[in-house]
Amino acid sequence: MWIAGSRLWKLASRAERDAKSVGVGGYGVGDERSREEAGGTVTDLAGDAPQKVEVRRSTRRRRTVSAYREGERIVVLIPARFSRREEQRWVTEMVERVTAREERERTRGPRRSDAALARRCRDLSARYLSGRATPTSVRWVDTMRTRWASCTPADGTIRVSTRLRDVPGWVLDYVLVHELAHLRVPGHGPDFWRLVARYPRAERARGYLDGVSAAAQLPIDLSDDVGELYPDEVAD
């Protein structure tokens, strides 16, 4: 399944803010580049830090601090009046909050195990595909480099990249519905997309994934997700 490359990255940015924003108030060390944006200053902290962090100062903010992940980096929003010391304190705290929450999310629901992922597929099939898509196996795969997931309709197997453990649940659900639909319709024709469209957040999820791929400069898509095992996948 392919996420169209023409979709705007700002759709994914907005989706990330909706799904991953943490309130209250970041810091890697590296080259700093600042620019004015939306009434504030953007400081881009890159380099060899464990986390890529972007600090955005806004004159509209008085006391509130928030943070969310945008692609490969964490964005921290702070009031423009903050001193450099206050900035560093809040950046450190908010990066810890974001990463801690992401770690908790990785151990919840379908992210816990292959069995939990398979249960989620059964739920989604019942809800959106009248229970008529029944995979024989669903498993997480660490080695996928060029696709988010893949499906082999001939034997009913679905494989999902572990990269998706870090996306919001509604985005993971979209990928699962997409792969489940391939058990009904192998190709990407009109009948297939009508099935996928039953998932109400399909378009938004496609924009989100397209933005994540673009921001991370990763050649990941779902345009060629039907068939046998691919070179970047490992069989059990």
**Do residues 61 and 119 share a domain?**
no
**Higher-pLDDT residue of 144, 106:** 144
- 44 Cβ neighbours under 8 A, 6+ residues apart: 31, 32, 33, 34, 54
Report the predicted TM-score, pTM, of the whole model to 2 decimal places.
0.57
**Do residues 115 and 193 share a domain?**
yes
**Do residues 27 and 70 share a domain?**
yes
End-to-end CA distance of the chain: 23
pLDDT category of residue 50 using cuts at 50, 70 and 90? low
The domain total for the chain is 2
Checking if the pLDDT of 45 tops 60, the result is: no
**Do residues 115 and 212 share a domain?**
yes
Cβ density class 11-42: b for 16+ within 10 Å, e for less: bbbbbbeebbebeebbbbeeeeeeeeeeebbb
**Do residues 41 and 88 share a domain?**
yes
What residues make up the domain containing 203?
110-216
**Do residues 176 and 81 share a domain?**
no
**Do residues 42 and 92 share a domain?**
yes
**Do residues 119 and 202 share a domain?**
yes
E strand or H helix at 139, and its extent?
Answer: strand 137-141
- 141 Cβ neighbours under 8 A, 6+ residues apart: 159, 160, 161, 162, 233, 234
**Do residues 97 and 130 share a domain?**
no
pLDDT score at 228: 55
pLDDT score at 112: 80
* Domain boundary residue, one of 106, 128, 160: 106
pLDDT score at 106: 63
**Do residues 100 and 142 share a domain?**
no
Q: What is the rounded average pLDDT of the residues 190-207?
A: 95
**Do residues 195 and 122 share a domain?**
yes
